[in-house]
Amino acid sequence: MQLDDLYRRVIMDHYKNPRNRGTLDNESVTINLNNPTCGDRIALQLQIEDGKVIDAKFSGEGCSISLSSASMMTQVVKGKTYEQALELAERFSALMKGEEVEFEELEDIEALSGVNKFPARIKCATLSWNALRKGIEQQQQS
């Protein structure tokens, strides 16, 4: 099996069977973002306690890249401190720029590495990560 085929399968698995899709019952930070160029939209909810992301859920509509990226992101940030979560977001941005990045925490994220070959799709992949950054920044300011 080709690596591209494997990556496509991982992306489609997260798209068809999203992890952490839904809403949080607990008090949480909600960030709504959309990508006007393609219509993707996401509502990211973060339960944050003592500077840590305790839980993360998302809802919204979008392409397979956008929703699978949100699924992967919500998996990897749980239990992370603000600093760790922001570092993951920076590493994901580097991956989208074509830089060599490893994600030991969740190998599935590497399946999105091919997105950088399609500049119009980078915004799809980074939408949920931008919501994560915005949510943490809001929490740090309050």
3-61 pLDDT, tens digit per residue, is 688 889 999 999 999 999 999 988 889 999 999 888 999 999 999 999 999 999 999 99
Buried b (16+ CB within 10 A) or exposed e, 105-114: eeebbbbbbe
Q: Cβ(85)–Cβ(77) under 8 Å?
A: yes
The single-letter code of the amino acid at 14 is H
Q: Is the pLDDT of residue 126 over 60?
A: yes
Planar angle of CA 74, 88, 92, nearest 5 degrees: 90
pLDDT at 78: 95
pLDDT at 81: 97
pLDDT at 106: 64
Q: Is the pLDDT of residue 1 over 60?
A: no
Quick one: pLDDT band at residue 140, thresholds 50, 70, 90?
confident
Q: Nearest-CA neighbor of 122 among 140, 98, 104, 105?
A: 98
Q: What are 32's strand-pairing partners? A: 43
CA distance linking residue 23 with residue 72, whole number of Å = 16
Quick one: pLDDT band at residue 67, thresholds 50, 70, 90?
very high
Q: Cβ(20)–Cβ(75) under 8 Å?
A: yes
Q: Is the pLDDT of residue 141 over 90?
A: no
Q: Over the stretch 93-110, which tens digit does the pLDDT of each residue have?
A: 999 999 988 777 667 898
Q: What architecture does CATH give domain 3-141?
A: Alpha-Beta Complex (3.90)
